[in-house]
Structure 1
Amino acid sequence: MMSFRAAVRSAPRSLSRMNSAAIRQTRIAQPSSLLRTTRAPLRTPQLAATFSSTPLRQAPANEADRELVSKLESEVKFENELKQNEQLPASIKDFLENSPYEVKDEPGKQDVYLVRKFGDETITVSFSIADLANYEQDMYNEDSALTDEELDTPEGKQLADTEAEDGLEDEPSQSVVPCRLNIVVEKPNKGALNIEAVAQDGAILVENFYYYKDPKMAHSSSAEADHGARDAYPGPPFGSLDEDLQLLLERYLEERGISQSMGLFVADYMDTKEQREYQSWLNSVKDFVAA
């Protein structure tokens, strides 16, 4: 499930979504200051323009900007307070200190790469924080499963409130977000193995085991390579292979450091990086609006 930090960040929003009927009534009675200052000037009814000689009153210049900057600043403060109360997870510290993999993490980018040499092999393991955002979006869609008509009934409101309370209570103890791994093992002039796997709860579960004569197909770094990879025979589904063969292929990966410690690292690092990128995004938007 989503991280504790993400649950805390989205908790007020989740509760408001689950009580959408009440929110709709509030919005109708008391529209937000942002809507009051921006909606009317966008389109004026033709009759009003024809028969009224009174100029439309507009909000003071940059009022919406100031409100937005103030809100962004409060979000930045909230995130900083969360960060102050957190320590670097032991799984990340242990991996960085003891793993032969080099972490390549470019600020502002979603993808993270783990790279190492193993004999004449070059091994690259990549994952993306987009998995976290996609997972949270799926959770939001599940939370929004009740229709407006259902929420307008007493039973629907009670069910929505119960699900919201249960979700907030259970979230920290539930399993971590599954993270997709793209593993590439290359040998000079020998092509590459491309393994698709999922890291969850410390385990790395192999889904597909491909071989490509051209290593570029394993990385899919260009449209041409991606097209070539789709045309190549991918091999059978991993789960359909002989069980002994599956076990030996998994041992092959473990000997190269693709093991439980990496699975734990990936889950925690994905959460930590997402928090870092989110804070950077907040500050960038705030600086842009305030400029």
Structure 2
Amino acid sequence: MAFTSVLRRSASALTPLAGRLLSGQRNLHHHCGGAFFVAMNHTHKIIISNNSSSLVTSFRGYCSSANSPVLKPPSSDDSLIKVLESEINCSEQSFEQDEDIPKDFPFKLDDISGMETVILTREYEGETIKIEVEPSDLVIGDSSSDDDAEKDEPSTLPMVVKVSKTDGPFLEFEISVHPGEIVIDSLSVKIPDLPEDGIRYEGPKFDELDEKIQNEFLKYLEKRGIKASAMKFLHGYTVNKAHREYANWLKNAKEFLEA
């Protein structure tokens, strides 16, 4: 009888506790899929499932999370870096042609990465021909026009051509290369020995010269390799140079931000 009385008192004492646990389990089932929380070390909580395998899985997840390395907090410049990456990919996909120099290309090409100007040189019958091209001078259509047809116009590549001999005067042409056509914009006869003071006579405007003289100077340049076939390659190469230098500039900026 004494034992039975003790058992009944124990059972009656446990009834409220069981009720509270069951009530808590019902409430937690609504939020956490049938699991309930047990406090650990007063600071951490772990989800324990009614299924023993779920308990192992949950515990492994907890340990994995607790022991994982601390991730570097996102940089405030991440959005800028992503925009740069996108622009780099776009620029690298914009190359127009293969950059292999044709075997019959008459000039030696000097292109230093990071430098603006492309230099081409050749020797011809005792003369030195030097061409200077700057990709930033490339003109594509008419950007000031709202006409789509004009925006699709082929690009124009300005360049400077110098023809010199061992000493004395030399010729300096400013020309514009269009697809299939070369136009002389100006011609100067440079005389090195003239005094520095005073204003030099630059000569007449080229388009005001007699048409026969204009045509003969065009033939003069063509004999020295300034012709449509060679300039077509140079035109495409310069477009690629512009994209390449732009992409490198973007990469340098991105590397700085990521350092």
TM-score, normalised relative to structure 1: 0.57
| Counterpart Cα distance in 2 of 1:284 and 1:75 | 13
Matched, 1:256 2:234: no
8 A Cα contact 2:97 2:236, kept in partner: no
Change in CA separation of 1:257 and 1:82 when aligned onto 2, cut-off 3 Å: closer
Give the aligned partner of residue 187 of structure 2. Answer: 209
8 A Cα contact 2:140 2:154, kept in partner: no
Between Structure 1 and Structure 2, the one with more strand by share is 2
Change in CA separation of 1:77 and 1:249 when aligned onto 2, cut-off 3 Å: closer
| Counterpart Cα distance in 2 of 1:236 and 1:66 | 57
| Counterpart Cα distance in 2 of 1:116 and 1:127 | 15
Between 1 and 2, higher relative CO (CA 8 Å, sep ≥ 6) is seen in 1
Runs of 4+ in 1 over 6 A off after TM superposition: none
Q: C-alpha deviations, 1:22-81, integer Å up to 9, x for none?
A: xxxxxxxxxxxxxxxxxxxxxxxxxxxxxxxxxxxxxxx874312211221222233345
8 A Cα contact 1:101 1:115, kept in partner: yes
| Counterpart Cα distance in 1 of 2:249 and 2:202 | 38
Give the aligned partner of residue 129 of structure 2. Answer: 123
Give the aligned partner of residue 96 of structure 1. Answer: 102
Residue type of the alignment partner of 1:190: G
Between Structure 1 and Structure 2, the one with more helix by share is 1
TM-score, normalised relative to structure 2: 0.63
8 A Cα contact 1:199 1:266, kept in partner: no
| Counterpart Cα distance in 1 of 2:79 and 2:246 | 20
Q: C-alpha deviations, 1:2-26, integer Å up to 9, x for none?
A: xxxxxxxxxxxxxxxxxxxxxxxxx
| Counterpart Cα distance in 2 of 1:137 and 1:63 | 40
Give the aligned partner of residue 74 of structure 1. Answer: 86
Alpha-carbon offset, residue 205 of structure 1:
0.3
Residue type of the alignment partner of 2:79: E
Change in CA separation of 1:113 and 1:207 when aligned onto 2, cut-off 3 Å: same
Larger radius of gyration, structure 1 or 2?
2
Matched, 1:65 2:43: no
Unaligned runs of 5+ in 1: 1-60, 144-162, 218-226
CA RMSD of aligned residues (A): 3.1
Give the aligned partner of residue 3 of structure 1. Answer: none
Give the aligned partner of residue 175 of structure 1. Answer: 153
Q: C-alpha deviations, 1:150-199, integer Å up to 9, x for none?
A: xxxxxxxxxxxxx6xx84xx689x33221111110011122211111111
8 A Cα contact 1:203 1:263, kept in partner: no
Give the aligned partner of residue 200 of structure 1. Answer: 178
